[in-house]
Homo-oligomer: A and B are copies of this chain.
């Protein structure tokens, strides 16, 4: 059994972190899958998904840390091609990753109490984002 749904997101620009847990859970509920995996994928090369405790502190610390490790304004070769000043956005997004799988049990996501599914906007400007959620698994009861 495979169920597919897209999640649309408006982001405010670089460092904007969104909690996707509720939206992914709704897709899982619609899928009627009891046991399986919910797979989340970012369309585009300057955004990323992951899990983190979603609270204001880490929502600032995560993009700050990525900007410290892969800062804007360095001499990146990507700028030779496009000159759009977002080489660091690409590199940060690739490092964090575009895909994530979260287990589904009894029709719910298995997550820690302080663990949320998040999207991080790494691009330098506001974007309309599409996340692809694919629920693969077994429908047992319903």
Interface of A is mostly: mixed
Instruction: Indicate the member of A35, A97, A105 with the most B CB atoms within 10 Å.
Output: A97
Contact A36 B114 (CB under 8 A): no
Number of A residues with CB within 8 Å of any CB on chain B: 58
Contact A45 B56 (CB under 8 A): no
Q: How many copies does the complex hold?
A: 3
Using an 8 Å CB-CB cutoff, how does the interface string of A35-54 with B read, 1 for contact, 0 for none? 11101010111000011110
Contact B82 A39 (CB under 8 A): no
Give the docked Cα–Cα distance between A60 and B98 (Å).
Answer: 20
Residues of A within 8 A of B (CB): 1-2, 4, 35-37, 39, 41, 43-45, 50-53, 55-58, 60-62, 64-65, 69-70, 76-82, 87, 90-91, 93-103, 105, 110-112, 114-115, 132, 134, 136-138
